[in-house]
Amino acid sequence: MSRKSLTRKQYKTVKKYDHNQMNDWATSLYKSGYQDAMEKFDENSLSLEDVANAIDEIKGIGEKRKSLIIEKLEQILSEKENK
């Protein structure tokens, strides 16, 4: 993620904004930050396959228990998507 600095010229321009211009600028700033965060999140997110592989490495959890855990996680994720 690259950090962008506000230059002196941009600062003077923003300082002169009226209410609507400031609102539009703040909204665009928020949206660009949100988009950057979502891109970073997508790169680092876990899949159910990753979870299943991690469960395989835990001693004492068999296929039946693993399938129950994955099934429950799928249920929770589908509920969140429907909200």
For residues 69 and 33, give the distance between their C-alpha atoms in angstroms, rounded to a whole number.
Answer: 34
- Lowest average pLDDT, out of 13-17, 34-38, 44-48, 69-73, goes to 44-48
pLDDT level of residue 12 (50, 70, 90 thresholds): very high
DSSP letter, residue 6: P
> Given a cut of 70, is residue 45 above it in pLDDT?
yes
- Copy the structure tokens of residue 5: 């600095």
Phi-psi region of 26 (alpha: psi -120 to 50; beta: other; left: phi over 0): alpha
| Whether this model's pTM surpasses 0.95 | no
Domain residue extents for the chain = 8-44, 48-82
Beta-carbon contacts of residue 22 (< 8 Å; ≥ 6 apart): 14
